[in-house]
Amino acid sequence: MPAQAERFTQVQESPEFGELRRAHRSFAFPLTLAFVAWYLLYVLLSNYAGGFMGTRVAGNVNVALVLGLAQFLTTFLIAWWYSRHAAAQLDPRAEALKAQLEAGE
């Protein structure tokens, strides 16, 4: 068991693992911050800009409804974008690390 823990530590300290972490963080952190800011903007507008949010866009559809639906759309777009990023950038690197780790067994 100690030999296995040592292999895990070696992989964790490898430059390839560092690149994998950087590739994940450089995508996930900025996108997460942007989405949280977008969500907080929606909440703040809902609380403090009732007149603006109540502005009718078409029929009974107002700005609040459009921005609320845009929150859902944004969530799905981010999930789709992340899955594409993971498949192209993260999964191949993770598979290479996994193969390297399993080759040492």
Per domain, the residue ranges of the chain are 2-103
pLDDT on residue 79: 97
pLDDT on residue 102: 85
pLDDT on residue 105: 59
pTM, rounded to two decimals = 0.81
pLDDT of the chain, 105 residues: tens digit per residue: 567 788 888 888 999 999 999 999 999 999 999 999 999 999 999 999 999 999 999 999 999 999 999 999 999 999 999 999 999 999 999 999 999 888 875
Three-class DSSP labels, the chain: CHHHHHHHHHHHCCHHHHHHHHHHHHHHHHHHHHHHHHHHHHHHHHHHCHHHHCCEEECCEEHHHHHHHHHHHHHHHHHHHHHHHHHHHHHHHHHHHHHHHHHCC
pLDDT on residue 77: 97
